[in-house]
């Protein structure tokens, strides 16, 4: 069976200090705790929504 799901690498590039609580919780839910940390997730609508909420704090790269 072929895995059709693409993966994305999310890296935190800015601090969440002095940001609204919902943005802090979104970063935590993505698995990010400090600047420079990266996580890999399957691309989905849920992850896309989380990325949209904190797009100014992260960098997103597509993984083949």
Profile the chain (64 residues) by mean pLDDT over runs of 10 residues: 77 96 97 97 96 97 91
Whether 26 contacts 57, CB under 8 Å: no
Measured distance CA(38)–CA(52) in Å, rounded: 17
pLDDT at residue 22 in the model: 97
What pLDDT is attached to residue 23? 97
Where do the domains of the chain lie?
A: 12-63
pLDDT of residue 64: 79
What's residue 1's pLDDT?
46
The residue among 11, 59, 61, 62 whose CA lies nearest residue 34 is 11
Tell me: domain 12-63, CATH 2.60.40.10, correct?
A: no
Q: Rounded CA gap, 10 and 53, in Å? A: 13
51: closest CA among 10, 16, 21? 10
């Amino acid at each position: 069976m072929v895995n059709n799901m693409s993966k994305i690498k999310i890296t935190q590039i800015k601090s969440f200090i002095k940001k609204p609580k919902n943005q802090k919780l979104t970063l935590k839910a993505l698995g990010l705790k400090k600047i420079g940390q990266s996580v890999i997730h399957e691309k989905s609508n849920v992850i896309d929504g989380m990325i949209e909420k904190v797009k100014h704090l992260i960098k997103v790269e597509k993984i083949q």
